[in-house]
Chains A and B, each alone.
Chain A
Amino acid sequence: MIKVHYFGIIAEAAACEQESISLGEIGLQSLISDLKEKHQLDSYEFQIAVNRKIIQDPSTIQLENGDEVAFLPAFSGG
């Protein structure tokens, strides 16, 4: 099980703040692509964190059961 958190405008677009995904081992890049398609996130800019660390190159990361992934957009209000 992989837990995915969405923040800010991404949570609005996905219409949820978190979801759990039952998958075996999966590459982070594939998970991002799947969720971008599922929630139509192509027009948004965001960073990806795995277990509270922001990932610079998602193609190098293999996810494991229990990992937490976060979609982090920059907020703009003030």
Chain B
Amino acid sequence: MDYSRQIILPQLGDSGQKRLQDSRVLVIGAGGLGCAVLPYLAAAGIGTIGIIDGDVIAASNLHRQLLYTEKQIGLSKALEAEKYLNAQFPEAKARVFNQFLDQANARQILEHFDLVIDATDEISARYLLNDTCEQLGIPWVYGSIHQFQGQVSVFNYREGPNYRDLFPTPDPAAVSCSDAGVIGTTVGLIGMLQVNEVLKIQAGFGKVLSGKILIYDLLSCSQQVFEFEKKPKKNPQVEPIAFPLLSIGEAVLPERILMDVREIGEIPQISMNNYLQVPLSKLSEMAQSLDREQEISIFCQSGKRSQQAAELLHGMGFAQIRLIKGGANELLAYLNYEKDIS
């Protein structure tokens, strides 16, 4: 293929063309958007193009899915799209998956690609695609249409925001093309905008549509771009700090201070030397008066509050924190046993 006319674009050049040649791009769905993007990806020189779709060609597809003809009705979209690419763009290496994307296959298919184009027509597939791309750390180019309007965005690009940051909750009222109606020019135009984002990302020119969603309205020929941000994670997965553990026998040595972080009145009640009751709810306030260099061994009923208390004290600068294996019941049993044998 002779790419000379695009290579002379200063934004692309030989190096940009080489980057396109080295790219592996997966197209999810070989329907309206898929048929629009596939020839343009291949024609631009994308080296490896994946196609995944488990659907077959129907007569009602042909007005907007221009890779197929009447003779192919009933045949696999993925396999027929592959045949088209092989005949028209033999330099592009096509990898075909004649199945729908699902929880079981998503990761093992997506991990072979650098970037994914969303050409699905289902909201649930987009959440699956989003979560898999986030796990694998690969960007994806979103495209979706509603009648004469289309949306385009780039998600998970260089740790930028993703689909869930924009649309956290699936819309139960969302409708497909077969229900809402669609005309070929809408999917054609939105597909072009998607391919354009792919070329920018892979060759490295222009400004990528990350953190922004473009909405194009073909009836008024108007477009608007809306900005959005990454949502703060509600439950950041922070690894618990591993504090040294002491057995009860080690913990009750006279030089140690045992801190009980249960609330006042919780049973069993403990009575012993070097015992300090500091309920977790009052810990940050009461710990102000303690020596931060003093070794402190913490226990509670089950161990959960001990870990929380230890992390809180660690954050306040306490240097020698220990956790006691077992809770108040085990400690009391040990103390009673010691009393009995003495």
Contacts and interface: CB of A to CB of B under 8 A. Distances in A.
A23 B253 CA distance: 73
Contacts, number: 102
B194 to A, nearest CB: 10
B228 A76 contact: no
A58 B118 CA distance: 30
Interface string A63-78: 0000000101111111
Interface string A1-39: 000010111000000000000000000000000000000
B119 A78 contact: yes
Contacts of B150: 75
A34 B48 CA distance: 51
A75 B149 contact: yes
B226 A73 contact: no
A56 B230 CA distance: 10
Taking residues whose C-beta sits less than 8 angstroms from the other chain, chain B's interface range is 35 or more
A24 to B, nearest CB: 26
Contacts of B119: 78
Interface stretch (B14-22, B120-128, B281-289): B120-128
Nearest to A13: B173
B226 A70 contact: yes
Nearest to A55: B228
B212 to A, nearest CB: 9
B177 interface: yes
A47 B227 contact: no
Given A54-B227, A70-B224, A77-B175, 19 more contacts: A9-B146, A44-B171, A47-B167, A47-B228, A54-B229, A56-B229, A70-B226, A74-B123, A74-B167, A74-B170, A74-B174, A75-B149, A75-B150, A75-B174, A76-B123, A76-B144, A76-B146, A78-B177, A78-B187
27 contacts: A5-B224, A7-B146, A8-B146, A9-B146, A9-B174, A43-B173, A45-B169, A47-B228, A49-B226, A52-B225, A53-B226, A54-B226, A56-B229, A72-B213, A73-B173, A74-B144, A74-B167, A74-B170, A74-B171, A75-B150, A76-B121, A76-B171, A77-B32, A77-B121, A78-B34, A78-B144, A78-B187
Nearest 7 interchain pairs by C-beta: A45-B171, A75-B144, A76-B174, A54-B228, A8-B146, A77-B177, A78-B121
